[in-house]
Structure 1
Amino acid sequence: MALAGASGKSIRETFLVNEQPRHSAQLFRMLSKTTGKTSLKELTKIACTTGPGSFTGIRTGLCMARTISQSRGIPLVGVSTLDVLAHQSQENTNKYGYFICPLIPAQQENVFLAVYKSGKIKRLSAYSVININEIKIFFKRNSINSKHKIFFTGEGAVKYRNLLISFFPDCAMPASSDKSFPRASTLAFIAASQKGTAFRNVLPSYIQQPRIFKKS
């Protein structure tokens, strides 16, 4: 869970918490620390990730962002968590022409993913969910093969590091654990160049339905 405050192109403060207690309690605590002496009345725009990822985490973050957007009458920017992970990987891939593949763990051995071209980040595939063992098939469908340089990032890259290396011994580059989480500061920079929209237009991106909604 991460939260950042930005002014123009400068990040005022950022927090990252990798714990499992109540999302809402942690988020409100971080919001209070981030705003500090700044009143919510001074906010001109708010941004949040829309998923995919934890069902509870997505809904908690989006609910808070939508509430602030509605109450203050300011635009809301929703950004895919996969997009955030891809953008923050540029520092590792800009000079080498890599394809970037963020991986977020889903249920069982599934992962949420998309493929991007480094440099001026461009998404090349749909936001998808697959079994991790089918990742080579996924790449083939998107015209990417083992000869291409691929940079893996996200919690899924850390979780399946050994498997990815066995599939792509020459080009798989799983990110280290300290870079596996989407950074709120990256989200803030992405949102800075977007106008945003009304809170009601920003919806969660689950990609696949949470298990609670599935028929037995």
Structure 2
Amino acid sequence: MKVLSIDTSNYVLGIGLLDGETVMGEYISNIKKNHSVRVMPAIQTLMEECNIKPAELAKIVVAEGPGSYTGVRIGVTIAKTMAWSLKIPLSGVSSLEVAAASAGRYFDGYVSPFFDARRGQIYTGLYKFENQVLQSVKNDRLVMSADWVTQLNELDSRILFSSNDLKLHDEVIKEELGDKAVFAEITELNPRPAELALLGRDKEAVDLHTFVPNYIRLAEAEANWLKTQETKN
């Protein structure tokens, strides 16, 4: 079963190809460039390198958010379009779940991946591996980082934090959690598209017509527009 995975939910662009129990290839970059003009060439290059034709794909898996509003939308739109044109199933996986799996597979404790959401806020959730299966302990959410670590301090366990935005929040984490806080190595911070493919390989397929990204919150521009409309009414 050949699975193509697509992650454009943050600065990291990840494309993966999984064939059964074999990772055929991955493309990962962590640079501030427009995903919209890079994702299709990246998919094409990886598939050509792995000698895989589109008709051979059995499934597509996409990181469904949260993350960058534009980035999430790009990945989901491309994944839906490809799945529809190839007539193959599509599954969505939480972008935070992918980050947790990429950093915490062999960590003995909880894993808290996060993405910066500005103004002291983060997108985050809490995960833990049980018998090599990733379990969600606390649902993905948008929360102040200070409030989040206060909640986590109630846990009697070490917590692994993984994020390319660690430097923006590490002081808050250290101050509240002390030795309970463990920070992932820099080589573990980019969510791996192979993990995305593996997480979504056996997951139930979505309805292509109703599947939408999980933004968790409205984009700032949309939220401001709604406030303006409420004022007018």
Same fold, TM exceeding 0.5?
yes
Matches of 1:16 and 1:158, distance apart in 2: 21
Aligned pair count reads 209
What secondary structure sits across from 2:105 in the alignment?
Answer: helix
Q: How does 1:83-98 map to 2 (within 5 A)?
A: 83-93=97-107, 96=108, 98=109
1:148 has 2:160 as partner: no
Q: How does 1:50-199 map to 2 (within 5 A)?
A: 50-93=64-107, 96=108, 98-119=109-130, 120-139=133-152, 144-145=154-155, 147-199=156-208
Considering fraction of residues, name the structure with more strand.
Answer: 2
| 8 A Cα contact 2:58 2:89, kept in partner | yes
| 8 A Cα contact 2:91 2:205, kept in partner | yes
TM-score (norm 1): 0.89
**1:158–1:45 CA distance, 2 compared to 1 (3 A):** farther
Matches of 1:201 and 1:182, distance apart in 2: 26
What secondary structure sits across from 2:75 in the alignment?
Answer: helix
Unaligned 5+ runs, structure 1: none
Matched residue, 2:47: 35
Matches of 1:177 and 1:211, distance apart in 2: 30
Shift of 1:43: 1.0
Matches of 2:176 and 2:45, distance apart in 1: 43
Matches of 2:199 and 2:118, distance apart in 1: 28
The amino acid across from 1:59 in the alignment is R
The amino acid across from 1:82 in the alignment is L
Shift of 1:13: 1.0
The amino acid across from 1:27 in the alignment is V
The amino acid across from 2:151 in the alignment is F
Matched residue, 2:3: none
Matches of 1:201 and 1:9, distance apart in 2: 30
Unaligned 5+ runs, structure 2: 1-12, 229-233
Shift of 1:198: 3.2
The amino acid across from 2:75 in the alignment is G
Where do 4+ consecutive residues of structure 1 move more than 6 Å? none
Q: Tell me the percent identity.
A: 22
Matches of 1:185 and 1:159, distance apart in 2: 27
CA RMSD of aligned residues (A): 1.7
What secondary structure sits across from 1:199 in the alignment?
Answer: coil
